[in-house]
Amino acid sequence: MDNNKVERLEQEDFIGFWRRVLATILDLIVILIPAVIVYWIFNSLAISLHSEIPIILEYIFFVVFDIFMIVRFGGTPGKLILKIKIINQQGNYPTLKEALVRNIFRIISLVISMVIGVSLYDFTVISTYFALWAPLANDLSKILGSIMLVDYLFVALNPRKRALHDMMAGTYVVDKSAI
């Protein structure tokens, strides 16, 4: 699919706000049990090793999983269930760079969550250092939440139903049958 074909997609081929919300809910349902298992494993390792490193790796694991799914399959599990694909301007699955840019708000959110989560432990200098940054991270998470809300509202206001993160990355969220 070339850029001209993306331009020729009909407005109904682009996925809107509520269908994206449903995909996110499905993501939560599908990923919940494996995420809890990963959480238990990494937190048990952190406690037994008396180290924050497994907890930090847990956050990295979830970011890498999300990026991998987008680059390799064109969407998260919820999107794939609903037959929704994320494509770039050429009509292909996003490149690694495009997927990273597309998920920049989520990555920042996970880093902030990681600072707050690791600060709850008292293992080494890392958790002590993160504890110093936790109040700022908490405030930043509130600001980022507002930014992410505006980001998602772009979907409702944009004719091609693109969120701000889609525009930044040059991606589109479309019905699989359109491509």
Q: Give pLDDT tens digits for 38-71.
A: 999 999 999 999 999 999 999 999 999 999 999 9
At residue 4 the predicted structure's pLDDT band, cuts being 50, 70 and 90, is: low
Averaged pLDDT for residues 103-111: 94
What pLDDT is stored for residue 103 in this prediction?
96
Residue environment code for 47-65, b if the CB has 16+ CB neighbours within 10 A, otherwise e: eeeebbebbbebbeebbeb
Burial class (CB in 10 A: 0-12, 13-18, 19+), 32: exposed
User: Which residue segment(s) compose the domain that 150 sits in?
Assistant: 3-178
Residue 178: per-residue pLDDT:
87
Domain count across the chain? 1
Q: Is the pTM of this model over 0.75?
A: yes
User: pLDDT band at residue 179, thresholds of 50, 70 and 90?
Assistant: confident
Strands (E), 29-108: 84-88
Q: What is the DSSP letter of 82?
A: T
Is 2 a residue whose pLDDT tops 60? Answer: no
